[in-house]
Amino acid sequence: MAIKDRISALSNELEGLKLSELKDLEAFRLRFLSRKGEIATLFEEFKLLAPEEKRVFGKPINELKKRAEGIFSIHQSNFSTIESNVPKIDLTLPGLMKELGSSHPITLVRQEIEEIFEKIGFVLSTGPEIEDDWHNFSALNFPDEHPARDMQDTFFVNQDPAFALRTHTSSVQVRVMEHQKPPIRTLSPGRVFRNEAISSRAHCIFHQVEGLYIDEKVSFADMKQTLLYFAKEFFGKDTKIRLRPSYFPFTEPSAEMDVYWGLKTETDYRITKGTGWLEVMGCGMVDPAVLESSNIDSTKYSGYAFGMGIERITMNKYQISDLRMFFENDLRFIGQFAKI
């Protein structure tokens, strides 16, 4: 194509040119204004023309170049204005982290207790929170006149037949004994309910973890060794325990287990009442009547049971003075356990 026709074609192309995006502007620059572009090529060919032809085509080539540079300059300015109005983002800045939730202290302690007993073969079991009289009282050897059966102590949902919010997770153990043959090694965590006035040391809702082991020739020594293992795992390897005689309708003999907490601080004196010993749980050998009520031969099998309140252990572990804080859902309180 002759140089005259090429100048004309490029000029016509510039007339209807539309550059809507920044990448179009860069493509325009490369084609028309770069060192190897269309206009640069025209100037190289211009050098080879005869003097009389240079006088003819010199001006049109220069005008073409000025038009192309003008178009590029105007669009470049427009794109710069648009970019300046867009908020700049520093991509090197760290991202905005979403604030993560945290486990409730009761959940943390419950999981820790579960993990300790799961290591020695205990299996988790759960049951309904609304229980009938049989599973909550009768099967556990509670006599008819026992105070726990009164409305002053228990939240009854229905009287005839009797249904109540369970007062302990021992009812879950009864259900396990009814549907599983020994050997049985089960752990029953859950929420329980009792009709108590709410204060810094008591609540009508709290959480328990109860354990049950039934097999042939299970002894009190087996129970003591299991509870000593738990105490050392949970409170520390140097922990000492003691067992004090007690009474529960569903165990005989029964005991309360204390751990030696120490008397190093004023708080230690307060929570141990000056003795250094801290009550942790109730325990005992399963009463033969409880075994027989679940059709387990008490002449062949024996077992032990234990139960602890999670709130009490949590309060001692984290030095929490008011039990009501567990139920207030205050993020200032719960958030303290995010990294524990």
Q: Give dist(CA 153, CA 195) in Å, integer.
A: 5
Residues 122-149: pLDDT tens digits?
999 999 999 998 999 889 988 777 776 6
Residues 68 and 164 in one domain: no
Domains in the chain: how many in total? Answer: 2
> What pTM was estimated for this model as a whole?
0.69
Whether 205 is covered by a domain: the verdict is yes
My answer on whether 171 and 291 are in the same domain is yes
State pLDDT tens for residues 85-127: 556 677 788 877 777 778 899 999 999 999 999 999 999 999 9
Q: List the CATH number of the domain containing 178.
A: 3.30.930.10
Confidence of residue 177 (pLDDT cuts 50, 70, 90): very high
Same domain, 15 and 78: yes
Q: What pLDDT shows up at residue 339?
A: 59
Per-residue model confidence as pLDDT tens digits over 23-69: 777 887 787 778 777 777 877 777 777 777 777 777 777 887 888 77
Q: Phi, psi (5° rounding) for residue 93?
A: -70, 150
CA-CA distance, 4 to 57, in Å (whole number)?
7
| Domain span at 38 | 3-85
Mean pLDDT of 151-164: 82
37 belongs to a structural domain: yes
Let me know: does 251 contact 305? Beta carbons within 8 Å: yes
